[in-house]
Chain A
Amino acid sequence: MDKKDFPMNKLSGPKTEPLNITISDEDIYQAMQEISGYLDITPGDFKEIYSHAYKHAVEKIARSITAQHIMNNEVISVRRNTPLLDVARIMAEAGVSGVPVIDTAENLAGVISEKDFLYCIAGRNTQSFLSIILQFIENKPGIVQALEGKKAEDIMTAPAITVAETASVIDVIKTLKKHAINRVPVVDQNGHLRGIITRANLLRVPAGLEAD
């Protein structure tokens, strides 16, 4: 069957600028009229200065909001030696798709995500969730065997990608984007786990600050 036999929904909307400065020469001209006295600047120059100043202001605000401001303080975490089945239970109960792993000194040791479980069950080359289901149907006890006897530290991703408490929102966003991850633990300067930032936390950032 040809591709065009399927109805295609165009999902991509109009492309929006991250910093949409819709100020026109006319707006500035009007504003200049409201100020009595001669202004030694053209509307064009003012527009240029305005757009630069706007960018600087946004950057300044973005830098003043740090990881500390938007992170979740109460993090569900597991220990290095927590059995994997317990880890799975903890994650399922809390409804999270990933948890930090901490060692006995309360330092962050790594992170376990659903993906790590998938890899553990079906190997690193797993293409999709469906392939694991198939595997499961074909070889029922396999999945339990794969998890049994293992501990958090056996499958965790380590060292974990982290951000400092003092990192700016921009840096947090960059980190998430760069490593294509959905959550990043926040650590203090001693490496202690202080919180976690998920992509949902970024919704707390005022609009207009989504750095590209």
Chain B
Amino acid sequence: MIRQYLKKMQGTTISPPGVNRTEILCSWIGGFLGIATVGYINEKLCNGTGMIMLIGSFGASAVLLYGAVKSPLAQPRNLMGGHILSALIGVTSYQLFSSHIWFAAAAAVATAIALMHITKTLHPPGGATALIAVIGGDQIHSLVYIYVLVPVGIGAFVMLIIALLVNNIPRSRRYPEFWF
């Protein structure tokens, strides 16, 4: 039995092929424009308002949205649903368990994964969005449930718009594969 267990760790198949240069360039341009737009809004509109637009999990979303365009994880349903649900879970978890940050963090991420699975909105950056709600510091904590809308909801939406605009320019790309 232990042998079978260890055998599973060997892996079973070969790693998939890499992408071509066009794909790499498209990914770079998409990632740059996506983060640039959210970052620009963050700098020009949020400065001094106590609001924030750019959070770490958007970097992860950019990988999927502009680098793995065809992945189900990168589709609009997953992007928007994953971020918004995870933000809700993250804020709630902090509200309930703020005395034990380690527990609040773990509960937020784990519950976010489960809820994303249940709702078919799995989006890995959602885990980061949930975690940031717990460990993001005073500025994030003070937002409470506004966090779900700004930065998370609006930021993800801006990234979606950029993905729709940019990913459909190259002949070799299309986005999305499905909406809901």
Interface positions of A (Cβ within 8 A of B) = 38, 40-42, 44-45
At the interface, yes or no: B72 with Cβ under 8 Å from chain A? yes
Q: Which of B122, B177, B178 contacts A38 (CB 8 A)?
A: B122
15 pairs across A/B with beta carbons < 8 Å? A38-B117, A38-B122, A40-B71, A40-B72, A40-B73, A41-B70, A41-B71, A41-B72, A42-B70, A42-B72, A42-B177, A42-B178, A44-B177, A45-B70, A45-B177
Beyond A38-B117, A38-B122, A41-B72, 12 additional contacts (C-beta under 8 Å) are A40-B71, A40-B72, A40-B73, A41-B70, A41-B71, A42-B70, A42-B72, A42-B177, A42-B178, A44-B177, A45-B70, A45-B177
What's the minimum C-beta distance from A42 to chain B, rounded to whole angstroms? Answer: 5
By a CB distance below 8 angstroms, the chain B residues around A38 are 117, 122
Chain B residues engaging chain A, CB cutoff 8 angstroms = 70-73, 117, 122, 177-178
> How far is the CB of A40 from the nearest CB of chain B, in Å?
5
Closest approach, in angstroms, between the C-beta of A2 and any C-beta of chain B? 53
List, in ascending order, chain A residues with CB within 8 A of B71's CB: 40-41
CA distance A40 to B123 in the complex (A): 11
Chain B residues with CB below 8 A from A42, complex form: 70, 72, 177-178
Contacts of B72 in A (CB 8 A): 40-42
Complex interface: chain A residues within 8 A of B70 (CB)? 41-42, 45
Instruction: Tell me, rounded to whole Å, the shortest Cβ–Cβ distance linking A173 to chain B.
Output: 31
A45–B72 CA distance with the chains assembled, in angstroms:
10
Residues of A within 8 A of B122 (CB): 38
Q: Tell me the complex Cα distance, A45–B70, Å.
A: 8
Task: List 6 tightest A-B contacts by C-beta distance, closest first.
Answer: A42-B177, A40-B71, A42-B72, A45-B70, A40-B73, A38-B122
Q: Which chain B residues border A41 with CB–CB below 8 Å? A: 70-72
**In the complex, A38→B122 CA distance in Å?**
9
Chain A residue nearest to B71 (CB atoms) is A40
A44 to B122, CA, bound (A): 18
Q: How far is the CA of A38 from the CA of B71 in the complex (A)?
A: 12
- Nearest-neighbor residue (CB-CB) of B178 within chain A: A42
The chain A residue with its CB closest to the CB of B64 is A40
